[in-house]
Structure 1
């Protein structure tokens, strides 16, 4: 059963032009109404996904650092009542590094948050303006300092491979980021997602994304620099000191069960997938009418579970236990991986095998999508 809980807070002060997450801008929020609805959604999920103490909780968004600390405390108290907490539970909250939100950090720590992930996104004011961020570098670093004083574990995000960004520029920016001493960094290449304002701007010729070859060079530079400083990549875009990996995100990548509540939240429990209503108003109406925000719940065929577990697990540096996945899904290992193609790419140094585990080698990570298309049998992916 689920040992992780995801709570989605959908509201932001502004929609960033690169963002395709389920985030919304509203003039006002009735926090009492939202607290009651989130608690109802949580109780429904606990009836179906309970049974074991929670090992992680993640407040995502949107901008969860806009939540009143009292609301966070109420949700955590109910989660502990419904599931109980495992010793050393990881409780993460995503936040924007503004002075307003940093002012809540002390109270959020008292409420139970013990890990924060800050959306710094860049250490350059011009880049932050391009990315549509509301904070500047000085404000962001001040918020980081406050976070490091109040939380035992801190991570922050940066977006690189921005238009016209050079290797020298990114090297200097990343070197500065590594100097702040956090145990975790999420370093994402700028991706132009369909339906975003950036997609429209690119289509209209407002800017040109960085060339793929240049972006690949920055990716290699990122891996080399973080490894040299003791924060090796444990997933494509995530880097951590040993023991500082995001336990909650590892739940997703290791294809373990988790409960998801709030607008647009996904969940997976007992071989079933759940999806909540995406629009905040529709989710609220669903909770009022049926006691929960679920828009769709369906059984996951074993072959689909196997495909998803492979696609997620091969993102991890640790790879995946193919024999365990075979037993879990009742499929032969030959049905999970094309062994002939795997052997070919292993000779090229793009994948590795060690006992029952297989994984993608450093040289294959930058072409992971193409590799997956070659390694995972077409019938498995199509299903």
Structure 2
């Protein structure tokens, strides 16, 4: 097994796999929430964090992203202790972005205040829709009114936050999506993410889609919705800096942007994947096995805190040889392809000199035929020593990316 080198990683992702119920479109690893499991998990998470920090403790973290699952189910106390532990074990830049995902159904004013006091400085809220019928279809436990109330509260306490919308739902009309968009823009969130509904394997929607029960909108309607969103968001002075992401000036998602720049990143928790620039190391997506490995004695985190022992690194055995990870290393051509399509997701596109600096070969030498074909289809443009997606290319982005991957 190759030795991974995370010395340049300055982003940390932490997976909290707990949900009250599973949304039928979601393929992220999750388990049923319970207070006892959270408490056992937190001890295990601290142990993995200790193990990681002993390997890469000189890293200067720029971003921390706490995702799930549904992190907002968890008491802010746990988030506070986690951030405190990270700050003790790692170095953070003074302006580090610390994001937590929240679900309107499991967040309230007290939790919002608690997260802010815990050291969180950015929230990502899964609104998804302001249409009650569509929210019900998506398995969301919130409502249009609840979504509006939560956005108002988040805006009151957080200057930096992002809100998600999902479009291209079965039987969703263009006017219904326009209403969602108009409502979202009335709150003027600093950052908006837009995702068309994708059907993933091992989800209830996948079974319904392949049985013919679930029918998605036509590609034409999907494209119309996307164009409508792009036009309206640009008119509202949002920067379209990545295919699915729009921000007011100065509010880009810094953590995700590091992914698109092909930067290395660290990760903790079951199912979480870290990347060192060449290889991905992924924890097993199984909470029970994760707990057996990192908390075999099933110790309580709250008891640890009450004993004042959470900062005692002797409790966390060093250099545990982890048997719960899988490793996937990219071949040189795979690495070039992934670097290229991630760069093309951004408004800046793929710069020739950056590709050459990374791989010591010209991008046109590696992907000449692909680039020419995509240009002929008017899916990408070339100029100023770079290639970038056209508006049509953004709508058909997956077709563009597959050209690089399937070579």
TM-score, normalised to structure 1, is 0.92
Report how far residue 322 of structure 1 moved.
2.7
1:162 aligns with one of 163, 169, 193? 169
How far, CA to CA, are the matches of 1:299 and 1:235 in structure 2?
26
Aligned to 1:342: 371
> Contact (CA 8 Å) 1:90, 1:114: kept in 2 or not?
yes
Contact 1:263–1:293, Cα closer than 8 Å, also in 2: no
In the aligned structure 2, how far is the partner of 1:323 from the partner of 1:47?
36
Unaligned residue ranges in structure 1 (runs of 5+): none
Q: CA deviation at 1:205?
A: 3.8
Map of 2:355 onto structure 1? 325
Aligned to 2:389: 360
C-alpha change, 1:34 and 1:166, in structure 2 (3 Å) is: same
RMSD (CA atoms): 2.1
- 1:314 corresponds in structure 2 to 344
Structure 2 counterpart of 1:16: 23
Query: CA offset at residue 100 of structure 1?
Result: 4.5
Match of 1:242 among 233, 239, 249: 249
Q: CA deviation at 1:335?
A: 4.1
Q: Deviations over 1:4-46 (max 9, x none)?
A: 0000000100101111111221444333322221111122222
Seen in structure 2, the aligned counterparts of structure 1 residues 29 and 291 have a Cα distance that, compared at 3 Å, is: farther
Is the 8 Å Cα contact of residues 73 and 106 (structure 2) preserved in structure 1? no
Match of 2:285 in 1: 278
Within 5 Å, which residues of 2 pair with 1:141-290?
A: 141-269=148-276, 271-288=278-295, 290=320
SS in 1 for 2:32: coil
Structure 1 residue 348, shift from structure 2 partner:
5.3
* Deviations 1:78-115, CA, capped at 9 Å, x for gaps: 21222211121110000101264443110110001110
1:303 maps to: 333
Q: Distance in 1 between matches of 2:28 and 2:203?
A: 10
Using the alignment, how far apart are the partners of 1:292 and 1:85 within structure 2? 26
CA contact (8 A) 1:4 1:258 kept: yes
Would you say the 8 A contact 2:355–2:362 is kept in 1?
A: no
User: Shift in Å at residue 236 of structure 1?
Assistant: 1.6
Secondary structure at the aligned position of 2:18 is classed as coil
TM-score normalised to the size of structure 2? 0.86
Once the two structures are superposed, the pairs formed by residues 128-139 of structure 1 within 5 Å of their partners are 128-139=135-146
The answer to whether the 8 Å contact 1:41/1:293 transfers is no
> 1:334-374, CA deviations, whole angstroms, 9 ceiling, x for partnerless residues?
34322x55245436543123333321122211122222344
- Seen in structure 2, the aligned counterparts of structure 1 residues 53 and 191 have a Cα distance that, compared at 3 Å, is same
Seen in structure 2, the aligned counterparts of structure 1 residues 84 and 280 have a Cα distance that, compared at 3 Å, is same
> 1:100–1:88: structure 2 CA closer, same or farther, 3 Å change rule?
closer
Structure 2, gaps ≥5 residues long: 1-7, 297-319
Shift in alpha-carbon separation, 1:102–1:10, aligned structure 2, 3 A: farther
